[in-house]
Structure 1
């Protein structure tokens, strides 16, 4: 089990705020929107999979493509 000190918790809080802002910026980008159009999901899948997962998947696939 990992125990975090108060200073570490506040650092993670800042990271969370940065990730939320970054995630929203990525989700509103034309590249992300085009990527989603190329990978249609039915409404049930969209309800099951949140924006956090979709942005992470987009970033992972983009980096894999660049690395290839």
Structure 2
């Protein structure tokens, strides 16, 4: 299942955000959150917020179970 969340007007360069996004792309949600939680980059916090928003969107809009 895929859920969508978009962050607009992020005050970070795409190259810096891409470094963190590439680390968590195609990982299970739990593992991705774990990596982002312990990363000390600014982009990690921004991407973690977007990922948590996507989880909430999937739960609310599509009735998905977050434990899956």
TM-score (norm 2): 0.35
Structure number with the bigger relative contact order (C-alpha 8 A, sep ≥ 6) is 2
Query: Which structure has the greater CA radius of gyration?
Result: 1
Tell me which protein shows more helix as a share of its residues: 1
